[in-house]
């Protein structure tokens, strides 16, 4: 395949006529379609500059480094190109396949002296505070943190999911606000999942002790290790459940660990990691259930193929140059 066209397609610079011809070919060739979206997935995960001229130059440099073999005429991408491109693009990636191994070392500073941390889609940021507290921040999550010396407490606010290993200080406790709840550490390792679009906020205690307080209650619920506090934001009610530690914390170790989950809920997690949008044309498929372990370093196409082995569905991918790709399930 001609390298300039592939570069223009991936970076969104191709004309309407080029895109139409390219995607018409992909529609007729399933193997090339799978290969293209795997290459694109790796490209999106890399930290290549957004400037179009720089993108073209970077793609050209990578292509020249790869030196692909001569292929038959047409749009064929070629498996050799994919294999080498995968290696090169992963090496250049700062926020994707290997992104979850890298700490966020450049916090932004928000108002009132708070430090603001973010984890880009497809990455996990690791934050180490001066007092020894360590925080893993999941894909698409935001955390603000400040030390309030007037109230003698450390204050954090979370949107998304984070895993905390807190260095307990009785004279300077940590309070984490997540939506309608506040978690107070008492010498603690815990996980909070509080994405704004989710109806529930989950707090899971691994070690130590923690108190969970809602905006409606004056007294907190004390958690013991192995317990999760599930707060229903609509009903404004809290319930306690037991949980499996290896499932709750799997995300920070680069895995999806799925246990009898609905397909719709699985796709919600995949959407946050791969930065794609899932749509159902067949609503009955939403309640199909799946159990399995999936490495986050794989491509969304491979994940879909794994799910299809036990769940009878088909899918098509709608590629968008300026927004998240859409995967239609039917």
CATH code, domain carrying 275: 3.55.50.30
> 138-142, 233-237, 317-321 — which is least confidently predicted?
317-321
Which one has a higher pLDDT value, 287 or 53? 287
pLDDT at 82: 44
Considering the domain architecture, whether residues 276 and 229 belong to the same structural domain is answered as: no
Q: Do 109 and 79 sit in the same domain of this protein?
A: no
Q: Would you say residue 253 has pLDDT above 80?
A: yes
Mean pLDDT, range 56-70, rounded to an integer: 45
Name the pLDDT band for 319 (thresholds 50, 70, 90): confident
Whether residue 216 is found in the same domain as residue 264: no
Q: Read off the pLDDT of each residue in 260-276 and give the average, rounded to a whole number.
A: 93
pLDDT for residue 27:
65
**What sign does the CA torsion over 280, 282, 284, 289 have?**
negative
Backbone angles phi and psi of 163, in degrees to 5 = -115, 125
Q: Is the pLDDT of residue 96 over 60?
A: no
Boundary of a domain, candidates 191, 216, 248: 248
CB 203 within 8 A of CB 181: yes
The answer on 236 and 105 residing in a single domain is yes
Residue 244 and residue 221 in one domain: yes
Average pLDDT score, the chain: 78
Confidence at residue 36, expressed as pLDDT on a 0 to 100 scale: 64
Quote the pLDDT of residue 101. 43
Query: Looking at the structure, do residues 124 and 207 belong to the same domain, yes or no?
Result: yes
Q: Give pLDDT, residue 81.
A: 42
> Quick one: 201 and 262 in the same domain?
no
Cβ burial 34-70 (10 Å sphere, 16+ → b, else e): bbbbbbbbbbbbbebeeeeeebeebbeebbeebebee
Domain that holds residue 75: 3-92
143 and 123 in a single domain? The answer is: yes
Report which secondary-structure segment, H or E, holds 270: helix 263-274
Rounded Cα distance between 301 and 39, Å, is 11
Q: What total of structural domains would you count in the chain?
A: 3
Q: Are 113 and 61 in the same domain?
A: no
- Residues 124 and 228 reside in one and the same domain: yes
* 296 in the same domain as 212: no
First vs last C-alpha separation in the chain: 31
Tens of pLDDT along 22-47?
A: 777 766 776 666 666 555 555 544 43
Together in a domain, 133 and 204: yes
For the cut 50, the answer to whether the pLDDT of residue 111 exceeds it is: no
pLDDT grade, residue 281 (50/70/90)? very high
Overall average pLDDT of the 9-20 stretch: 70
What pLDDT is recorded for position 215?
82
Of 213, 248, 283, the residue that ends a domain is 248
Which of the listed residues 56, 72, 92 is the one where a domain comes to its end?
Answer: 92
Query: Where residue 237 sits, what CATH number does that domain have?
Result: 2.60.120.1440
3-class secondary structure per residue, 171-232? CCCEEEEECCEEEEEEEEEEEEEECCCCCEEEEEEEEEEEEEEECCCCCCEEECCCEEEEEE
Which carries the bigger pLDDT value, residue 218 or residue 273? 273
pLDDT confidence of residue 14: 73
Residue in the structure block whose two tokens are 């991936």: 10
């Amino acid at each position: 395949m001609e390298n300039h066209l592939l570069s223009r397609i991936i970076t969104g610079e191709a004309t309407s006529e080029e895109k139409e011809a390219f995607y018409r070919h992909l529609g007729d060739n399933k193997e090339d379609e799978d290969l293209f979206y795997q290459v694109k997935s790796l490209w999106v995960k890399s930290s290549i500059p957004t400037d179009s001229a720089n993108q073209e130059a970077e793609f050209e440099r990578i292509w020249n480094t790869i030196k692909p073999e001569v292929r038959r005429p047409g749009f064929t991408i070629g498996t050799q190109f994919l294999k080498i491109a995968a290696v090169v693009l992963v090496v250049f990636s700062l926020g994707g396949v290997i992104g979850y191994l890298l700490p966020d070392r450049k916090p932004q500073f928000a108002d009132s002296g708070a430090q603001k941390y973010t984890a880009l889609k497809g990455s996990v940021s690791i934050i180490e505070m001066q007092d020894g507290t360590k925080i893993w921040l999941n894909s698409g999550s935001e955390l603000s943190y400040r030390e309030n010396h007037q109230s003698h407490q450390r204050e954090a606010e979370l949107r998304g999911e984070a895993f905390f290993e807190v260095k307990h200080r009785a004279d300077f406790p940590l309070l984490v606000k997540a939506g309608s709840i506040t978690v107070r550490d008492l010498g603690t390792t815990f996980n909070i999942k509080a994405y704004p679009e989710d109806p529930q906020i989950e707090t899971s205690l691994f070690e130590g002790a923690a108190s969970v307080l809602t905006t409606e209650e004056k007294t907190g619920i004390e958690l013991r290790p192995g317990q999760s506090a599930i707060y229903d934001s609509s009903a404004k009610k809290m319930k306690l459940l037991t949980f499996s530690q290896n499932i709750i914390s799997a995300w920070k170790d680069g895995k999806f660990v799925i246990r009898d989950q609905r397909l719709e809920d699985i796709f919600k997690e995949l959407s946050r990691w791969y930065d794609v949008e899932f749509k159902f044309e067949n609503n009955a498929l939403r309640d199909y259930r799946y159990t399995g372990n999936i490495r986050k370093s794989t491509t969304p196409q491979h994940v879909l193929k794994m799910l299809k082995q036990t769940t009878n569905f088909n899918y098509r991918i709608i590629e968008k140059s300026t927004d998240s790709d859409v995967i239609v399930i039917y």
